[in-house]
Chains A and B, each alone.
Chain A
Amino acid sequence: MSTAAVGFAARRVLRGLLTMWFAVTVTFFLLRLLPGDPALAIADPGMTEELRANLIASYGLDRPILVQYWEYLVHLVQGDLGVSFRQNQPVTTVLLERLPWTLLLALSAVVVTVAVGIPLGVLAATRARSWVDRVVQVGGVTAQSMFVPSIGVLLLYVFGVTLGWLPIGGAIDEDVTGLAAVGSVVAHLVLPCLSLVLIQLGSYVLTLRTTLIETLGEDYVSLARAKGVTARKVVWKHALRNALLPTTTLMGLQFSLLVGGAVLTETIYAYPGVGRAIFEAVGRLDFPVLQGAFLVLAFTVIIANLLTDIAYGLLDPRVRTS
């Protein structure tokens, strides 16, 4: 790796760390400065004044805010997100059990979106203004406009309830091992994953279509055509490579939307990820879990963005220099 590439990666890592610090700080001050008092939420109304004071002291809520902020940062660096109000378990333990499921769901949704989106985008761009193109465009706009739980419920009702092809809740059957376990995980993953794919696919295909049409008009593409390169090779080898850059950047920006979608999808399908933990914590007013879940999801998004950025910077020299 050249020094330029190392410098580029270092700058991106620094920016990722800055974003993490921002997320942490915003959360801390919002929670402390907002009207709601987290101590009141755990304190029983019938509690004596002394008990209440003890409780507040045990959470460190009686000290100056900057001291609290510092301690909060120190704890966070050690991976300590506090204790769940209701489950009497460290928040980190609760969430780390859930995180792999959310990662599995989100990653599989990204992979399927790209795998289906690229051929669809190429099809629409190379047949611009044909009926295929119009169908893709109208479908894209409609899919983009759907409310995530609506798609989730629709798929659940059709494929889970009416046809009975796929399970409608959970992530794995009990008492399965080996290959049967893998099959069970995949079967439970299909519907939630498909719900997330449908909401992302529209903007992915529409962006790829627009940039690919632009790229196909570039001089170097005409040159390749003039040299006698086959039409298929011009599209897939020459134009697509350049059109994928803005499309991938968009994917990166959409990670935060994807995570929001995952929270709603996991709720519909009782999928045991971080999103479902959020839904359960809302019902129990378990603020440490809500706060920890936001930070875990924010860090996931930041790291995903960072990896996309660096991978693309290494592949495409234009990104490094800009």
Chain B
Amino acid sequence: MSVETATALPPSESTAAQTWRAFRRNPLGVAGGLVLVALALVAIAAPLLADYPSGSSDDVLVGPSAGHPLGTDDLGRDVFGQVVWGTRMSIAVGFAASVLAIIAGTAIGVAAAYFKRLDTALGVLVDLSLSLPVLPLMILIAALVGPSATTLIIVIAAFSWPEVARVVRSQAMTVMPQQFIAAANVIGGSNTWIIRKHVLPGVAPVVVVSVVMTTSRAVLSEAGLSFLGLGDPDNWSWGTILHNAQQSGSLTTAWWTTLFPSVAILLLVVSTTLLSVAYNDARNPKTR
């Protein structure tokens, strides 16, 4: 009898599998994911897709044509190559900054939720950091330290963690009152063990969404700093292309020097937004 009952029931699916099944049914989320994969491939395969644009040529400010599908800039450099290599730089800086910010933000958010004595102090720190205009502060520091990829990554990460910490903390607060945490305490589990085994898995879903959203915000920050002239001088990024168009004045005459990097930024940010909205919906049984 009991064997029959067991086989009559469908095998229970893991939460991850249910989330994945619900996610696949959302066309916008899937499209967002595909665009991100495509951008990542462009970033990885940049050397195969285009030569690194450098030097100058006589084909100055040529519009999109057979030789230069996205036109050339004021020094005759290929805009297609700039956008392709810019994808590599923008995503690399954005992703690296995001990973640093996620590690710091998760550590601080979990600490605030788990150790009650730290909560007020960390909460005030996060609130204060979030109420300051971040871009002017990043500009000040990046200008002082000197522009480079490392500077960009560290400066962006240093001002992106509070957002992560706030989200992780509020998620961890919903895990804390669960009985398994109290039980883990009673059987004498150490703090690190409880955090690793019980709290971190509980906040993992919001951390996953955070990686995507923080990367997208970090790419925007990188573009902003580079646009103002604080980008890595040795690498093309989407913001650097716009900076050059602004500096040379070609933004008023040659639309292709600004349109294509702008479209690249828009694609990345829209697809991350769609992806994380779809993931959140798929994870939530109410909206699944």
Query: Which residues on A are within 8 Å of B, measured CB to CB?
Result: 18-19, 22-23, 26-27, 30-31, 34-36, 38, 41, 141-142, 144-150, 153-154, 156-157, 160-161, 168, 253, 255-256, 259-260, 263-264, 267-268, 278-279, 281-283, 285, 287, 290-291, 293-294, 297-298, 301-302, 305
Q: Are B265 and A34 in contact (CB under 8 A)?
A: no
Q: Which residues of A contact B139 (CB under 8 A)?
A: 263, 278, 282, 290, 294
- Which 9 pairs of residues, A with B, have the shortest CB-CB distance? A260-B135, A150-B262, A145-B269, A36-B144, A259-B133, A294-B136, A256-B133, A147-B265, A22-B128
B143 close to A (CB within 8 Å): yes
Cross-chain contact of A263 among B136, B252, B270 (Cβ < 8 A): B136
Q: Are A153 and B262 in contact (CB under 8 A)?
A: yes
Q: Which residues of B contact A161 (CB under 8 A)?
A: 252-253
Q: Which residues of A contact B130 (CB under 8 A)?
A: 253, 256
Q: Are A279 and B229 in contact (CB under 8 A)?
A: yes
Question: Interface size for chain B: under 10, 10 to 19, 20 to 34, or 35 or more residues?
Answer: 35 or more
CA distance A214 to B163 in the complex (A): 26
Cross-chain contact of A268 among B144, B246, B265, B274 (Cβ < 8 A): B246
Q: Which residues of A contact B245 (CB under 8 A)?
A: 153
Residues from 223 to 244 in B contacting A, C-beta threshold 8 Å: 223-224, 227-230, 242
Q: Are A147 and B128 in contact (CB under 8 A)?
A: no
Q: Are B140 and A297 in contact (CB under 8 A)?
A: no
Q: Are A150 and B258 in contact (CB under 8 A)?
A: yes
Q: A23-B132, A150-B266, A282-B228 are in contact. Are A290 and B246 (CB under 8 A)?
A: no
Chain A residue at smallest Cβ distance from B141: A30
Chain B residue at smallest Cβ distance from A256: B133
Q: A22-B128, A157-B251, A161-B252 are in contact. Are A290 and B135 (CB under 8 A)?
A: no
Residues from 85 to 135 in B contacting A, C-beta threshold 8 Å: 128, 130-135
Chain B residue at smallest Cβ distance from A41: B144
* 27 A–B pairs (Cβ distance < 8 Å), ordered by A: A22-B132, A34-B141, A34-B145, A36-B144, A41-B144, A144-B273, A145-B273, A146-B269, A147-B266, A149-B224, A150-B242, A150-B258, A153-B245, A168-B252, A253-B130, A253-B131, A259-B133, A259-B135, A260-B135, A260-B224, A263-B228, A268-B246, A282-B229, A290-B143, A294-B133, A301-B133, A302-B131
Chain A residue at smallest Cβ distance from B145: A36
Q: A145-B270, A256-B131 are in contact. Are A279 and B143 (CB under 8 A)?
A: no
CA distance A160 to B252 in the complex (A): 9
Q: Which residues of B contact A147 (CB under 8 A)?
A: 220, 223-224, 262, 265-266, 269
Q: Which residues of B contact A268 (CB under 8 A)?
A: 246
Q: Are B131 and A153 in contact (CB under 8 A)?
A: no
Q: Are A145 and B266 in contact (CB under 8 A)?
A: yes
Identify whether the interface residues of B are mostly helix, strand, loop, or mixed: helix
Q: Are A148 and B140 in contact (CB under 8 A)?
A: no
Chain A residue at smallest Cβ distance from B263: A150
Chain B residue at smallest Cβ distance from A275: B136
CA distance A294 to B134 in the complex (A): 9
B255 close to A (CB within 8 Å): yes
For the complex formed, measure the closest distance between the CB of A209 and the CB atoms of chain B, giving whole angstroms.
15
CA distance A189 to B111 in the complex (A): 47
**Per-position 1/0 for B205-225, Cβ under 8 A of A:** 000000000000000100110
Q: Which residues of A contact B220 (CB under 8 A)?
A: 147
CA distance A22 to B269 in the complex (A): 32
Q: Are A297 and B133 in contact (CB under 8 A)?
A: yes
Cross-chain contact of B128 among A18, A41, A264, A297 (Cβ < 8 A): A18
For the complex formed, measure the closest distance between the CB of B275 and the CB atoms of chain A, giving whole angstroms.
12
Chain A residue at smallest Cβ distance from B136: A294
Chain B residue at smallest Cβ distance from A294: B136
Q: Which residues of B contact A260 (CB under 8 A)?
A: 133-136, 224
Q: Are A278 and B228 in contact (CB under 8 A)?
A: yes
Q: Which residues of A contact B134 (CB under 8 A)?
A: 256, 260
Q: Which residues of A contact B60 (CB under 8 A)?
A: none
Chain A residue at smallest Cβ distance from B146: A36
Q: Which residues of B contact A146 (CB under 8 A)?
A: 262, 266, 269
Q: Are A291 and B140 in contact (CB under 8 A)?
A: yes
B137 close to A (CB within 8 Å): yes
Q: Which of B128, B137, B145, B262 has the most CB of A within 10 A?
A: B137
Cross-chain contact of B251 among A18, A27, A141, A156 (Cβ < 8 A): A156
